[in-house]
Amino acid sequence: MRRIDLQPLEPFTSDFIDRTGAFNPGALEAATVIIEQVRQEGDGALRALTEKFDGVAIENFRVPREAIDAAMAEVDPDTLEALKHAAAQIRDFHERQKQQSWFFAREDGAIVGSKVTPLESVGIYVPGGRALYPSTVLMNALPAQVTGVERIVCVTPPTKDGTLDAAILAACKIAGVTEIYTVGGAQAVAALAYGTETIRPVAKITGPGNAFVAAAKKLVSGDVGIDMIAGPSEVCVVADETADPRLVAIDLMAQAEHDPLAACYLVTFSDAYADAVEAAIQVHLADSTRADITRTSLEDHGLIVVCTSMDQALEAVNVIAPEHLEMHVEGAMEYLGAIRNAGAIFLGAWTPEAVGDYVAGPNHTLPTGGTARYSSPLSVDDFVKKSSIIQYSPAALKNDARAVVQIATHEGLWAHARSVALRLKALLDAEQASVAGSAAAGVEDGEARGE
Ligand SMILES: NC(=O)c1ccc[n+]([C@@H]2O[C@H](COP(=O)([O-])OP(=O)(O)OC[C@H]3O[C@@H](n4cnc5c(N)ncnc54)[C@H](O)[C@@H]3O)[C@@H](O)[C@H]2O)c1
Ligand SMILES: N[C@H](CO)Cc1c[nH]c[nH+]1
Ligand SMILES: [Zn+2]
């Protein structure tokens, strides 16, 4: 791994970071061409691109209901049990995130509030190039289901024989996915955004993927909603002398093994400790079933930062803004306040990042490439939209009319001012008429009583 030894008080800047894995110029170019092809040729493009990139010919992208039901019987029972265990904890976590519509009545009778409405349709991208991701089905479909989204469409690349993994289909069934299509990559994102003969477009696309998928989501954003840029995985492990180098090494490798473009960072406090972690990586690599991907990721995109203080380490973390941050240090919780930028924060030696990938409950779809500076983990909020509600009473209009007219006039917006002024005049006229009416009635009453 590349290594930087910081001097005391030397600032860690973004110049130290290589973001080419996350924002890959080649992938952006390729995704642009693919999206255009799908827009022009629809299903024909999906077939051609699936053959080109996944090496299989698919006639019908839609997975029939019978195949989904059959998968429940076909999937290994222990895997099914584990998926159900994970689903229960993910569902529970996301249920707690749910927001209700709310209304507030002001003293002057105005009612203001926020109405929460589930999205009509979402497309969830489930990766499948270099690994299988039934966990990603759960992480994306369950919050959509909890929120009340009616149409939950899953797209995922085919396996080498042109089918889908039974565990993916089982996860779709558990999490209430309503349509499944065997198509992946930038072409699947384009199909969800613009539609084809087979796939109807959706309102929003969520879910992680490789550099091509992340680039495609970025390109279609605006024509369709997207959750975030959730590209090649990242982890930053802050480790002090109390951390076992073998555990730190395996936690770095757990993200490196996702993708040769994954980015892994070790932030530590001595060269000797960094050497121990690097040595442990070599030992683990001998056993790894994914040694090639892992090695490439660590060699090309790995970085070790040797710091002289915890303040400097935390500054580095905030500049890196990693997808996952592991605080493998004594008293990890104490530093939470100083951590500004990280998708998910794992505290202490007993919290390997992998528990967050599968079962802890919080979402594993997380911002990458430094976008944790402004993006949050996928949540139920991604599957709803909000409408503001405003209802004025006559008293509220009288209260606020002067301010509206004043600001609208300053902005040069005549009709804005007039729309309020006319109503105010109508109110005042009605009030005057009523005062005059009461006065006249008073006189009449008096006359009747002979006063
Ligand atoms: N940030 C997160 O929340 C998060 C979560 C899970 C996984 N991930 C990441 O998701 C990614 C999964 O990647 P994957 O590759 O295994 O699956 P994937 O489904 O994202 O990508 C596979 C698809 O990429 C397309 N593709 C491959 N080579 C191409 C090329 N040369 N040109 C154009 N398109 C091409 C193909 O269509 C293929 O179907 C990894 O980077 C992993 O780290 C991120
Ligand atoms: N670590 C991934 C997010 O970067 C999520 C995942 C799914 N399965 C295993 N890991
Ligand atoms: Zn992972």
- Alpha-carbon distance of 165 to 86, in angstroms, equals 18
Cα-to-chain-centroid distance, residue 439: 65
| Tens-digit pLDDT profile for residues 6-42 | 999 999 999 999 998 888 889 999 999 999 999 999 9
Share above pLDDT 90 across residues of the chain, in percent, rounded to a whole number: 95
Q: Which of 56, 212, 217, 375 has most ligand 1 atoms within 8 Å of CB, for mutation? A: 212
**pLDDT value at position 213?**
97
* Atom number, ligand 2, closest to the C-alpha of residue 230: 4
Q: Which of 159, 210, 371 has most ligand 1 atoms within 8 Å of CB, for mutation? A: 210
Decide if 315 is catalytic. Answer: no
| Tens-digit pLDDT profile for residues 166-190 | 999 999 999 999 999 999 999 999 9
Q: Quote ipTM for the complex.
A: 0.99
**pLDDT value at position 451?**
63
The count of other CB atoms within 10 Å of the CB of residue 123 is 30
Q: Which of 324, 328, 353, 364 is catalytic?
A: 324
**pLDDT value at position 24?**
82
**pLDDT value at position 444?**
73
Q: Of all protein residues, whose CA lies closest to atom 6 belonging to ligand 2?
A: 357
100 is in an annotated binding site: no
Going from the Cα of 258 to the center of ligand 2, the distance in angstroms, rounded, reads 8
**pLDDT value at position 302?**
97
What does residue 434 show for φ and ψ, rounded to 5 degrees?
Answer: -70, -40
Q: Which long-range contacts (CB under 8 A, 24 or more apart) does 104-113 make?
A: 106/396, 108/393, 108/395, 108/396, 108/399, 109/392, 109/393, 109/394, 109/395, 109/396, 110/390, 110/391, 110/392, 110/393, 110/396, 111/389, 111/390, 111/391, 112/388, 112/389, 112/390, 112/391, 113/388, 113/389
Share above pLDDT 70 across residues of the chain, in percent, rounded to a whole number: 98
187 is in an annotated binding site: yes
- Alpha-carbon distance of 239 to 266, in angstroms, equals 7
Residue type for position 91: R
- Alpha-carbon distance of 251 to 255, in angstroms, equals 7
What does residue 401 show for φ and ψ, rounded to 5 degrees?
Answer: -60, -45
- Supply the mean pLDDT for the chain: 96
Decide if 324 is catalytic. Answer: yes
**pLDDT value at position 446?**
65
Going from the Cα of 254 to the center of ligand 2, the distance in angstroms, rounded, reads 9
Question: Which of 62, 26, 360, 419 is closest to 214 using CA atoms?
Answer: 26
DSSP character at residue 224: B
97 is in an annotated binding site: no
Q: Is the pLDDT of residue 442 over 90?
A: no
Q: What is the set of domains in the chain, with CATH numbers?
A: 2-21+232-360 (3.40.50.1980), 25-230 (3.40.50.1980), 394-448 (1.20.5)
Going from the Cα of 388 to the center of ligand 2, the distance in angstroms, rounded, reads 36
Question: Which of 378, 30, 59, 307 is closest to 185 using CA atoms?
Answer: 30
The pLDDT-based confidence of 117 (bands split at 50, 70, 90) is: very high
* Of residues 5 and 448, more confidently modeled: 5
Q: Is the pLDDT of residue 319 over 80?
A: yes
| Tens-digit pLDDT profile for residues 203-224 | 999 999 999 999 999 999 999 9
**pLDDT value at position 71?**
94
| Tens-digit pLDDT profile for residues 47-90 | 999 999 999 999 999 999 999 999 999 999 999 999 999 999 99
**pLDDT value at position 438?**
83
Pocket of ligand 2 (CB under 6 A): 133, 135-136, 233, 255, 323, 357, 364
Ligand found nearest the CA of 301: 1
Question: Which of 320, 304, 312, 301 is closest to 372 using CA atoms?
Answer: 320
Residues 6+ apart with CB under 8 A from 144: 119, 122, 124, 152, 176, 206, 383
